[in-house]
């Protein structure tokens, strides 16, 4: 980031609002005559939070109150505050920077219109220098028009597609989930949801700085780094300027260079001998270098400085278009020449009201590390995350799969929309491309698989041309995948058959051991999940008391399903689905709340454990699993393993055991035998001892010493298939003293809930 000085305009504002009839209010001068109410507002913020604070709206998190937001969707919102501008030096300018305006904003300084915004997902900036009054108060007005009304204006073309409730968002650059999703309520919010500031811009400054690791020697002894720069200046003569760069790491010699300026653009190649490489979790240290680039004048005075944290690594994606028995193909991430089995989750909205995202971020990031995730997929229905998210992933060895913000639709193919997406993508790519953790750009979530039934997704100009071109031009050393899952021309030519997809999202109303899951030929699962009920305390917090129980014919349970509209049918099936999954595992649905919650959490926990371990025991035929999902962004009933109140479900503890770097797994029986498999996701051999014992009797069923090669997998014992339901407890002791525990449930479903309660008490699991 560049080192510009700034004045924060966060804090207290005034908010005036009313229905946007007949186009609403056109300018600040017309606002007083309208007679609309004015309340205090906080920036960053969402208008709904300000209404709640002012007593004009009930908090929407509880019961059915989310539906009260529907009326606000067609309102217009006016933010206002006064400020004193910063003092300027010679040639300096002032820019008003809006990191997040949701969404259609128009800006006035001292009654003069400055400019407009039309995209919630990226920052906007305006040069306001010539409009400022020196030394005194200045007026800033920001009008936000209704996104829903704007979304109704374009005529729909026959090629476009979205779910009925999401059609208004096709032409509007808001997070797709805000129009209603199966994991989030409909909350088409408005507001200044990220920082607002005045930035003092020097006359000579960096416009862009791009650090790229272009190669790592096979033996890891040398890394090649390129730094590309571009600056702007009002100077006519630039020959006396100098670029000075530095790569430094604590405890190591720094690497420095200087370059005389002959052009406003330049590139320097740096060779780092004996580099400390950046590795994903489990494979080594996520080493980072401080990277600094300075622009100096003739006297050696620093005119501008750019600083970043750089990881020396290469990340590639080896993939084929199809997978068959004859041609197995692959879909695997390769870091510094080493294949990495990806273990992790999908990152979905932290809150329906995004100004609160940063409140939830520290705890959610802590969970990522606690669960030993080495990859996370930033799902395409979300916003682009704050810098703190990517900084954490850099420092903790968590690879980031980054979707562009589009999901489950066929978007407009017009020139205007293509231009808007190109602008958005360029801003996002330039902001994130220096992060070591960023492993992959993906064009969207499920657009290909949603549309391949009746059209060729390869005709989509947005994912095949616009986004691909932006990544190629601005981040050429990083992989791009058009969609997830990607339906290539080769797949289309073979009828889009699902059993040919190398990467897949597996969702079905089925037993978690159903052949739909176990017979999948996919190498990589970027989505898979299973419903689980939150704990009683969370249910009591999200429902009005009379709606906590029972679940049947319960309007508030349907609301938390999540049903976008009060009389709609979308997603209401998810309540029955949760009960179905309980019945599948235990043969009956408990009639008491506490047993219902426990049974649901056990079903979910066993499912997640099975999915992760089933994929890991087939390493390298299978190469990664990103389960759905870590945490809810609203009080709902869902597949998340942590609810909105940060209370973990049982699945959290099971996943923690299943995602250790070294894991002993009891495989499903084949020909009357279970394999005891030890998988090693580290770059060093591991030696240890694994023991399997009966949970009820303590009898040792199998015990084996093992040695597993680096990044390898081995079958260390075979166990005769058990008769009937039971639980086996696995204890693995590694040579370094680490003790790991796991379990396996024997027999066929359903099993007895009473038996499972007894086993659970002996597993050493701390329940949420």
Q: How far apart are CA 240 and CA 228, in angstroms?
A: 19
Examine the fold and report which residue of 162, 183, 201 is the final residue of a domain before the chain moves on. Answer: 201
Question: 59 and 134, same structural domain?
Answer: yes
pLDDT at site 346: 98
pLDDT digits (tens, 9 = 90+) for 252-302: 889 999 999 999 999 999 999 999 999 999 999 999 999 999 999 999 999
Burial of 714 (0-12, 13-18, 19+ CB in 10 A): middle
Residues in the chain, how many?
Answer: 768
Q: What is the three-class DSSP state of 536?
A: helix
- Beta strand ranges found along 584-655 (DSSP E): 624-627
**What is residue 454's predicted lDDT score, i.e. its pLDDT?**
83
Low-confidence ranges of the chain (pLDDT < 70): 1-4, 766-768
Flag whether 507 is in a domain.
no
Q: Can you point out the beta strands (E) in 249-384?
A: 255-260, 265-273, 289-296, 302-310, 315-319, 331-335, 338-340, 342-347, 375-378
> Are 145 and 267 in the same domain?
no
Residue 337 and residue 176 in contact, taking contact as beta carbons nearer than 8 Å: no
The parent domain of residue 233 ranges over 205-310
Residue 459: CB atoms within 10 Å: 12
On whether residue 42 sits in a domain, the answer given is yes
- Tell me if 233 is assigned to some domain: yes
CB 372 within 8 A of CB 653: no
Is there a single domain that holds both residue 52 and residue 152? yes
Report yes or no: 668 and 558 within 8 Å, Cβ to Cβ: no
Classify residue 612: in a domain, yes or no. no
The CATH number given to whatever domain includes residue 746 is 2.60.40.10
Residues 221 and 92 in one domain: no
**Closest to 428 measured CA to CA, from 100, 207, 121:** 121
Tokens 């870091």 belong to residue: 335
Predicted local distance difference test score (pLDDT) of residue 2: 54
Indicate the number of domains in the chain. 3
**How far are the Cα atoms of 251, 625, 641 from residue 345, in angstroms, in the given order?**
34, 8, 10
- Please list the helix, strand and coil fractions of the chain in percent, rounded to the nearest 5, in that order: 25, 35, 40
Q: Is the pTM of this model over 0.95?
A: yes
86 and 130 co-located in one domain: yes
Q: Cβ distance 16 to 38 under 8 Å?
A: yes
Q: Do 52 and 185 belong to one domain?
A: yes
> Which CATH number is 85's domain given?
2.60.120.260
Whether 58 is in a domain gets the answer yes
Could you tell me if residue 751 is inside a domain?
Answer: yes
Is residue 19 situated within a structural domain?
yes
Whether 426 is in a domain gets the answer no
242-248 and 289-296: which strand pairing?
A: antiparallel
Cβ partners under 8 Å of residue 718, min gap 6 = 673, 674, 675, 676, 702
Collapsing DSSP to helix, strand or coil, 39 comes out as strand
CA angle 492, 628, 436 (to 5 degrees): 85
Same domain, 17 and 74: yes
Work out whether strand 104-109 and strand 205-216 pair parallel, antiparallel, or are unpaired.
unpaired
* 3-class secondary structure, 4: coil
Residues 42 and 106 both lie in one domain: yes
Instruction: Report the 10 Å Cβ neighbour count for 50.
Output: 24
556 contacts 63 by C-beta, under 8 angstroms = yes
Question: Which single residue is written with the structure tokens 């079903």?
Answer: 603
Residue among 340, 362, 270 nearest 310 (CA) = 270
């Amino acid at each position: 980031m560049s080192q510009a000085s700034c004045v924060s305009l966060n804090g207290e504002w005034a908010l005036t609002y009313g229905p946007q009839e007949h186009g609403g209010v056109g300018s600040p001068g017309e606002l007083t005559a309208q007679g609309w109410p004015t309340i205090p507002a906080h920036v960053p913020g969402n208008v709904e939070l300000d209404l709640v604070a002012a007593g004009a709206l009930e908090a929407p998190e509880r019961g059915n109150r989310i539906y009260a937001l529907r009326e606000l969707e067609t309102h217009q919102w006016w933010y206002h505050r006064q400020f004193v501008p910063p003092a300027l030096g010679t040639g300096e300018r002032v820019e008003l920077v809006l990191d997040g305006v949701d969404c259609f904003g128009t800006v006035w300084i001292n009654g003069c219109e400055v400019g407009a915004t039309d995209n919630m997902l990226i920052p906007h900036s305006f040069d306001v220098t010539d409009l400022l009054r020196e030394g005194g108060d200045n007026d800033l007005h920001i009008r936000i028009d209704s996104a829903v009304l704007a979304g109704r204006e374009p005529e729909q073309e026959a090629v476009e597609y979205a779910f009925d409730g999401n059609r208004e968002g096709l032409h509007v650059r808001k997070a797709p989930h805000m129009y209603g999703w199966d994991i989030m309520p409909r909350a088409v919010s408005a507001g200044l949801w990220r920082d607002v500031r005045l930035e003092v811009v020097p006359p000579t400054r960096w416009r862009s700085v791009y650090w790229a690791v272009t190669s790592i020697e096979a033996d890891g002894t040398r890394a090649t780094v390129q730094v590309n720069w571009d600056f702007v200046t009002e100077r006519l003569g630039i020959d006396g300027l100098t670029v000075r760069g530095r790569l430094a790491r604590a405890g190591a010699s720094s690497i420095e260079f200087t370059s005389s300026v002959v052009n406003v653009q330049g590139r320097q190649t740096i060779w780092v001998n004996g580099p400390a490489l950046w590795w994903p979790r489990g494979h080594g240290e996520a080493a980072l270098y401080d990277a600094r680039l300075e622009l100096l004048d003739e006297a050696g005075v620093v005119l501008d400085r750019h600083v970043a944290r750089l990881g020396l690594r290469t990340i590639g994606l080896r993939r084929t278009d199809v997978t068959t028995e004859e041609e197995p193909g692959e879909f695997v991430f390769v870091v510094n020449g080493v294949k990495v089995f990806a273990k992790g989750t999908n990152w979905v909205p932290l809150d329906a009201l995004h100004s609160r995202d940063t409140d939830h971020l520290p705890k959610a990031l802590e969970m990522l590390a606690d669960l030993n995730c080495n990859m996370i997929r930033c799902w395409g229905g979300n916003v682009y995350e704050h810098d703190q998210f990517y900084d954490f992933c850099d420092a903790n060895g968590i690879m980031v799969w980054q979707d562009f913000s589009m999901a489950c639709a066929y978007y407009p193919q017009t020139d205007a929309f293509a231009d808007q997406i190109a602008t958005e993508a360029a801003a996002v790519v330039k902001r994130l491309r220096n992060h070591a953790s960023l492993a992959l750009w993906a064009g969207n979530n499920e657009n290909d698989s949603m549309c391949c039934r009746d059209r060729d997704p390869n005709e989509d100009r947005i994912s095949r041309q616009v986004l691909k071109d932006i990544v190629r031009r601005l981040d050429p050393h990083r992989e791009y995948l058009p969609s997830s899952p990607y339906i290539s021309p080769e797949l289309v030519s073979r009828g889009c058959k699902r059993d040919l997809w190398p990467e897949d999202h597996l969702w079905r109303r089925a037993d978690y051991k159903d052949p739909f899951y176990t017979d999948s030929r996919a190498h990589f699962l970027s989505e898979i999940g299973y419903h689980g009920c939150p704990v009683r305390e969370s249910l009591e917090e999200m429902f009005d008391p009379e709606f906590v129980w029972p679940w049947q014919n319960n309007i508030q349970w349907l609301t938390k399903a999540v049903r976008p509209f009060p009389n709609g049918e979308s997603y209401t099936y998810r309540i029955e689905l949760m009960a179905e999954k309980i019945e599948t595992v235990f043969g009956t649905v408990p009639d008491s709340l506490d047993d219902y919650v426990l049974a649901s959490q056990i079903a979910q926990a066993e499912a997640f454990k099975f999915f992760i371990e089933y994929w890991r025991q087939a390493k390298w035929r299978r190469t990664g699993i990103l389960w759905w999902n870590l945490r809810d962004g609203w009080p709902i009933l869902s597949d998340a393993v942590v609810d909105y109140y940060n209370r973990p479900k049982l699945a959290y503890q099971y996943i923690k055991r299943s995602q250790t770097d070294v894991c002993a797994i009891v495989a499903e029986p084949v020909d009357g035998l279970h394999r005891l498999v030890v998988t090693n996701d580290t770059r060093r051999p591991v030696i240890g001892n694994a023991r399997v014992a009966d949970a009820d009797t303590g009898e040792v069923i199998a015990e084996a010493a093992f040695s597993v090669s680096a990044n390898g997998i081995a079958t260390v014992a075979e166990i005769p298939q058990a008769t009937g339901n039971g639980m086996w407890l696995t204890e693995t002791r590694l040579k370094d003293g680490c003790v790991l525990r796991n379990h396996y449930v024997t027999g066929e479903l359903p099993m007895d809930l009473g038996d499972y309660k007894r086993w659970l008490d002996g597993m050493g699991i701390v329940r949420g």
